[in-house]
Amino acid sequence: MSSESILRARIEKLALVIEYQKQILRDLEQRMSDARRELNATLDPVARLPVEISSDIFARCIPDSLRPNSSEAPILFLHICRIWRDIATSTPSLWTSISCDSVTDPAHLDIWLRRAQNHPLCISLHGNLNRDVVVAVQRHAHHVQVLKLESSCHLERMGLTLFPSLTKLTLFNTTANTMFPDYLDILRFAPALAECHFISVYQHVMVAGHQPVPFTHSSLRRLQLCDGKSANATILLNYLTLPALENLYISASGQLMPIHIASLLTRSLPPLQSLHAEGLPGMFHEFDQALRLVPNVTDLTPEIPRTNRRSL
């Protein structure tokens, strides 16, 4: 055997010995890590508490922000130790709220929502969302209780999704790209909805040849229409009947007038308690007869341009 072959064989043998020693070192490091975890579990006061108490402590650490953050609960709990991770992943209340944006990973979102099990969810959507993010939300729609949509595009992507547990809906920045029936559809597919806010309602687009079908929502108690600058708010009031309405807040301009509010109240005869109407053109004497139909109103704030004021 040549000297070159002898040297190559020696190098290969040494490489195998080095790899073997490295594996021994890795095994020792793993055993030391396991021992440290066991020691931490022994010394950790949380590990000695009943799971119900530990879960309650964890729940009190959840920040107000809905955005997932690795330096904040509940994600932070996953990286402390195995015991904390187990407690966190088995506590559904830690995973009931989340805000999703353009960088949200659909797979991570689905894991987050599945950890909430069947607890009521609060979900906020904003930014240019991945289509699979919307699909993940739809998959858990049956126990979404609070839904905030930054754009009408998010509403369109939802399609005809049933939200049987939804009680509060907030829709921001309704744009010219939205087909009008979508506004009524979200109400039709949320039968338990009690509170609805439409913020910044701009020009709608009607589907050619489509006439909205009048719709009665029996659960809606609070409706807010803000910064309306189109016919959207008018159509909503013309086609909706709200027999359970208790609070109506309108801050709008454009085509919405007191007569449209009067039409809603006359048609619905709701147990209205609070009415705020701001920035509406027209004469409020048109409103007088409708107010007589809602005698339980104790909070009335009609704010109209000075040139249009008349005694009620």
Reported as a single tens digit per residue, the pLDDT across 179-201 is: 545 567 788 899 999 999 988 75
**Average pLDDT taken over every residue of the chain:** 83
pLDDT given at position 305: 57
Distances (CA, A) of 253 to 30, 85, 227, 303: 68, 52, 7, 12
Which residues on neighbouring strands pair with residue 197, listed in sequence order? 170, 224
Q: How many CA atoms, within 13 angstroms, populate the side-chain half-sphere of residue 222?
A: 9
Region 7-30 average pLDDT: 92
Residues 270, 244: contact at Cβ < 8 Å? yes
280 versus 125: which is more confidently predicted? 125
Q: Could you identify the residue written with the tokens 């975890």?
A: 37
20 Cβ contact list (under 8 Å, min separation 6): none
Least confident of 1-5, 194-198, 199-203, 291-295: 199-203
Q: Could you identify the residue written with the tokens 């016919």?
A: 231
String of DSSP letters for 199-264: EEE---BPPTT--PPPEE-SS--EEEEEEE-SSHHHHHHHHEE-TT--EEEEEE-SS--HHHHHHH
Cα 36 to Cα 32: distance, rounded to the nearest angstrom: 6
158 Cβ contact list (under 8 Å, min separation 6): 134, 137, 138, 186
| Residues 139-176 pLDDT 10s | 999 999 999 988 767 777 777 789 999 999 998 865 54
Region 112-129 average pLDDT: 92
237 Cβ contact list (under 8 Å, min separation 6): 256, 260, 261, 263, 264
| Residues 39-79 pLDDT 10s | 776 777 777 788 899 999 999 999 887 778 888 999 999 98
Residues 92, 119: contact at Cβ < 8 Å? yes
The fold of the 151-312 domain, in CATH, is: 3.80.10
Residues 246, 270: contact at Cβ < 8 Å? yes
Least confident of 198-212, 232-246, 248-262: 198-212
113 phi and psi, to 5 degrees?
Answer: -70, -35
